[in-house]
């Protein structure tokens, strides 16, 4: 296996984050340069503790390529396996939105520890090419749909802060993690109470 490199992450204010990325031809997708970029992006994202997605412009590549890696983390330690995801999205396009929107907290590795609530469509249909230049058209929902919309925005030069409707929702990463932990404690207590009620009924 070729050596992989940790790519420099571009931060808010870097002009490349505001540029519309260029589409890749099938020949370019299959090139050694693109294969190296994908491998290095995956490696870079794996080193980011809470990262779930990375778009090429975030590491200096002005091309329409993004990767999504949803896996258990400290803030999602018990993420069900059916919600795990590993995708390479090249020239992605949302061709249909399904259902309404919902707000979830979002962060971004191009912003230093900032989170805010962003409204995104609950379900989307996306057409894209994979790393073998094969075309796919799939429906996505939930967290995966949310992440994909975030990454596609990056390819259009749009940042998550542009989508924030409630400016009072901005919080630090430390506060976000604290709230997630509090939610888990509350959820566990509610589950424990529910189990006790069921046991009492069975007696």
Q: How far apart are CA 155 and CA 7, in angstroms?
A: 18
DSSP labels, the chain:
-----PPPPP-TT-GGGGSPPBPPPHHHHTSHHHHHHHHHHHHHHHTSTT--EEEGGGGT--BSEEEEEE---SSSTT--GGG-EEEEEEEEEEEEEEEEEEEEEE--TTSSSEEEEEEEEEEEEEEEE-TT--EEEEEEEHHHHHHHHHHHHHHTT--HHHH-S-GGG-EEHHHHHHHHHHHHHHHHHHHHHHHHHHHHHH-
Look up residue 144 and give its two tokens: 């995966």
Catalytic residue list contains 131: no
Residue tagged active-site, from 69, 106, 131, 151: 151
Where in the sequence numbering do the catalytic residues fall?
151
């Amino acid at each position: 296996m070729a050596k992989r490199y940790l790519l420099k992450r571009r931060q808010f204010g870097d002009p490349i984050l505001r540029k519309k990325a260029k589409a890749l031809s099938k020949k370019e997708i299959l090139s050694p340069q693109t294969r190296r970029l994908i491998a290095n992006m995956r490696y870079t994202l794996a080193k980011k503790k809470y990262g779930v997605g990375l778009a090429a412009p975030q590491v200096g590549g002005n091309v329409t390529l993004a990767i999504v890696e949803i896996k258990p983390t400290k803030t999602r330690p018990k993420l069900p396996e059916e919600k795990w995801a590993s995708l390479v999205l090249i020239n992605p396009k949302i061709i249909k939105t399904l259902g309404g929107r919902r707000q979830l907290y979002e962060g971004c590795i191009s912003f230093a520890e900032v989170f805010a609530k962003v409204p995104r469509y609950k379900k989307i249909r996306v057409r894209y090419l994979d790393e073998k230049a094969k075309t796919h058209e799939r429906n996505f929902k939930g967290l995966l749909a949310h992440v994909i919309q975030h990454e596609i925005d990056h390819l259009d030069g749009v940042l998550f802060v542009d989508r924030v409707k409630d400016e009072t929702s901005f919080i630090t990463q430390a506060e976000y993690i604290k709230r997630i932990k509090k939610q888990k404690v509350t959820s566990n207590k509610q589950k424990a109470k529910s189990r006790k009620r069921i046991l009492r009924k069975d007696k």
